[in-house]
Amino acid sequence: MRTGSPTKPHPHDDAPDTAGDFARLARLPEGPERKMLRDELVEAWLPMAERIAVRFRGRGEALEDLYQVAALGLVKAVDHYNPARGNAFEAYAVPTITGEIKRHFRDHMWTLHVPRRVQDLRNRVRYAVRELAQTTEGRAPTVPEIAEYARLTESEVRTGMEALECFSTLSLEAEMPGTDGYALGDAVGGPDPAFDTVVDRVAVRPCLEALPERERVILYLRFFRGMTQSTIAEQLGISQMHVSRLLSSCFAQLREELLTETG
């Protein structure tokens, strides 16, 4: 694959330099040449997509399935990325791929985490119950009958029957058994707000790197060191009003670039 001119370093050590390829892709009309270049770009960035997928393993979905979902998100990112906006492909692709994986969990996963082995038992028990119901004259089949039909142990049948209830959850307001008004929600921890900033930080990074050095220093001192505008002004030898104007200018520029990127 051809490579473009040097770009700013990526967080991924093996991130390919594809700026030139994306610029050429944007100019090519629909046809075999464009499709070949598009497929090459997808293949080049696939390791990054797979690393994003790995972050979601252990949540009840097979890693191979997550790889496929991440690849789908990568294809969407390649198809919709606009290099003319000046941002690195990675800053656009990471939120796109992450969003695709999150949608997959929302639309296809169980409301409770259930191991794949238990999911298989659930499916076999459900099928057996449905088939046996045609021959048991209206009564529910017994555990031994299900075990014999599905070629499972009675313990496996009970596990599968318990899993049949895992597609619905109790209300968080439901009182827990053996307690005096203690609700299920009282035992559930809250979400870590830091997770919501991960994608935002990746998206804003190229915009921050494009700012002049003085503006980057001011943002660092203000939001990472917690310094006041007056203290920053004293350290940099400028007025507090000048610091305020520079901060307002930075915010406006970052907001415009991010809205353009996500628009």
The predicted pLDDT at position 14 comes to: 56
The predicted pLDDT at position 179 comes to: 65
Categorize the per-residue pLDDT at 154 as very low, low, confident or very high, splitting at 50, 70 and 90: very high
* Percentage of residues in the chain having pLDDT higher than 70: 74
CA distance 46 to 235: 45
Q: Are 71 and 48 in contact (CB under 8 A)?
A: no
In one-letter notation, the amino acid at residue 257 is: E
Whether residue 138 has pLDDT greater than 70: no
Strand ranges for 74-184 from DSSP E: none
Whether residue 180 has pLDDT greater than 90: no
Q: Which sign, positive or negative, has the C-alpha torsion 118, 120, 123, 125? A: negative
* Cα 92 from chain centroid (whole Å): 13
Domains annotated on the chain, with CATH: 19-108 (1.10.1740.10), 116-187 (1.10.10.10), 211-262 (1.10.10.10)
Categorize the per-residue pLDDT at 191 as very low, low, confident or very high, splitting at 50, 70 and 90: low
Mean pLDDT of 197-217: 79
The predicted pLDDT at position 5 comes to: 39
Categorize the per-residue pLDDT at 7 as very low, low, confident or very high, splitting at 50, 70 and 90: very low
The predicted pLDDT at position 74 comes to: 94
The predicted pLDDT at position 12 comes to: 47
> Higher-confidence residue: 184 or 116?
116
Whether residue 27 has pLDDT greater than 80: yes
Supply the mean pLDDT for the chain. Answer: 79
Distances (CA, A) of 196 to 31, 90, 117, 127: 40, 18, 32, 41
Q: What global pTM score does this model have?
A: 0.41
Per-residue pLDDT of 39-59, as tens digits, reads 999 999 999 999 999 988 876
Closest CA to 160 of 110, 112, 117: 117
Q: Give the H/E segment covering residue 24.
A: helix 19-27
152-155 long-range contacts (CB < 8 A, ≥24 apart) are 152/121, 152/124, 152/125
Q: The tokens of 217 are what?
A: 């220093």
